[in-house]
Amino acid sequence: MATEIKVPALGESVTEGTIGEWLKQPGDTVAVDEPIVSLETDKVAVEVPSPVAGVVGELRAAVGDTVEVGAVIATVEDGVAAGEATKVEPREAPAPAPAAPESGDGAQTLSPAVRRAVLEHGVDPSTIKGSGKDGRLTKEDVVAAAKAKSASPAPAATAETSPAPAPAETGGARREERVKMTRMRQTIAKRLKGAQENAALLTTFNDVDMSAVIEAREKYKDLFAKKHDIRLGFMGFFAKASCLALKDVPSVNAYIEDDEIVYHDYVDISVAVSAPNGLVVPVIRDAQDKGFARIEKDIADFGKRAKDGTLTMDDMKGGTFTISNGGVFGSLMSTPIINPPQSAVLGLHRIEDRPVVRDGEIVIRPMMYIALSYDHRLIDGREAVTALKIIKEAIEDPTRMLIDL
């Protein structure tokens, strides 16, 4: 008996997705809840598991095909022994190239998390012995192999060793490669271009002395980690400082919908994090009611799941304000772009020692440039500058966050 594999519900208002990769091919055995296919939506990649154990039968869509929610995209033969299912290729479409084997003697495909780990650590999956079920390669296997590789000393040169031959001349040949944009990257491009076309974008800047926050982190980091089992980072400070600013300047936490302005009495902060397929913005719900530990845990969880590709549509739904930290990549200054329909985004940058004047003397302080990009249709310059100034003052004097000042 064949079980149909259908496109699951992908989130509110999402009616279709794109076949990103077939993780199983016709004739492959599959366990209950084992992923068969990766679907790309506008925001996330979703793995579709098999509801039964058996053998993959027919694939009814090819990589790159757009499929609607509820559509049958494959079948699984219940309880059929490996090799007994008829291999049916996707309809009149090139079959995807086989993935690299999971272990040196296997022919299983790599899961998305394992593929990402392989690319990140630059290891050859065919040289790693898998520790998972049926010898499948796991992410932990890849990480362990990478650590072992980096720990292995390079062979020492000897007097008898001949110098390596110079690389042969290539004749100046140049190559180019064309890669189809993923559905997520296409959506990102459309949304960002739409933000430029539909909003009156403007950016205001300020700089922040990070001395007080750095001192607080250094003083309490061990106690904080021991009590809450999470590292005390900078994002918690900026999230709480933003809540103060948005409370005092509500237009920065609002957005335009048709001919109305929608205000919010809560702060849902979208945090920009990097994922393998592009930038994603999961949301910290009700940040105004959360403490530092809960915010740091939310951010850490988002970062891990973005890297693993397990964020869901619900994780990124909504959001009233965005914080983007380009400083982790070394950015000194930038003009971040708003995340529609939101009206403002806070950009953070790298911290570096710079000379500043304090009490008439030139001193060295750890400084950071911060930027607030905003929709001038809704937010006046005075309001934007005021909001950024509140954030600056709260970071330079964290006590303000404790007494709501």
Marked catalytic residue, from 105, 314, 376, 397: 376
Domain, as residue range, for 111: 100-150
135-181 pLDDT, tens per residue? 777 777 887 888 887 766 554 444 444 555 555 555 678 989 888 87
* Cα separation, 393 vs 209, whole angstroms: 9
Of 11-25, 254-268, 363-377, the poorest mean pLDDT is in 11-25
Q: What is the DSSP code (8-state) at residue 368?
A: E
CA proximity to 237, closest of 325, 135, 333: 325
Give me the DSSP letters along 274-301. Answer: EETTEEE--EETTGGG--HHHHHHHHHH
pLDDT > 70 fraction of the chain, expressed in percent and rounded: 82
| Same domain, yes or no: 82 and 212 | no
- Looking at the fold, whether 6 and 106 belong to one and the same domain comes out as no
Same domain, 93 and 118: no
Look at the block and give the residue holding tokens 């951010």.
299
**Per-chain mean pLDDT for the chain:** 83
User: Which whole-number Å values give the CA distances from 31 to 19, 49, 89, 174, 381, in the listed order?
Assistant: 21, 9, 21, 45, 58
Indicate which CATH number applies to the domain containing 332.
Answer: 3.30.559.10
* The one catalytic residue among 124, 286, 380, 397: 380
Do 309 and 222 belong to one domain? yes
Res 311 pLDDT > 90? no
In a domain, 191, yes or no: no
**Which pLDDT value is given to residue 393?**
96
Q: Which two tokens stand for residue 285?
A: 């719900």
Count of beta carbons in the 10 Å neighbourhood of residue 168: 6
Contact 4, 72 (CB under 8 A): yes
108 plus 228 within the same structural domain: no
| Structure confidence at residue 95 (pLDDT) | 44
Q: What is the mean pLDDT of residues 265-275?
A: 91
Catalytic site includes residue 228: no
Nearest residue to 353 via CA among 206, 205, 204, 211? 211
CATH number at residue 60: 2.40.50.100
Alpha-carbon distance 184 to 273, whole Å?
14
Same domain membership, residue 256 and residue 366: yes
Q: 322: which residues sit within 8 A by CB, 6+ positions away? A: 269, 270, 271, 272, 281, 336, 338, 339, 342, 344, 345, 346
Give me the residues paired with residue 273 across strands: 280
* Residue 141 shares a structural domain with residue 250: no
Q: Does residue 341 have a cis bond before it (omega within 30 degrees)?
A: yes
Count of all residues that appear for the chain in the document: 405
- Per-residue pLDDT of 176-196, as tens digits, reads 988 887 777 787 788 888 888
Condensed to tens digits (0 to 9), the pLDDT of residues 335-380 reads: 999 999 999 999 999 999 999 999 999 999 999 999 999 999 999 9
Q: Are residues 397 and 300 in the same domain?
A: yes
Total structural domains within the chain: 3
> Is 168 inside any structural domain?
no
Distance CA 24, CA 184 (A): 22
Q: Are residues 274 and 322 in the same domain?
A: yes
Segment 275-293 shows an average pLDDT of 88
Report the percent of the chain where pLDDT is more than 90: 44
Nearest one of 176, 139, 206 to 388, comparing CA atoms: 206
Instruction: Identify the H or E element spanning 35.
Output: strand 35-40
C-alpha–C-alpha distance, residues 82 and 39, integer Å: 25
CB atoms within 10 A of CB 321: 29
Statement to judge: residues 327 and 371 lie in one domain: yes
The answer to whether 286 is a known catalytic residue is no
Instruction: Give the pTM.
Output: 0.66
Asked if residue 270 and residue 228 are part of one domain, the reply reads: yes
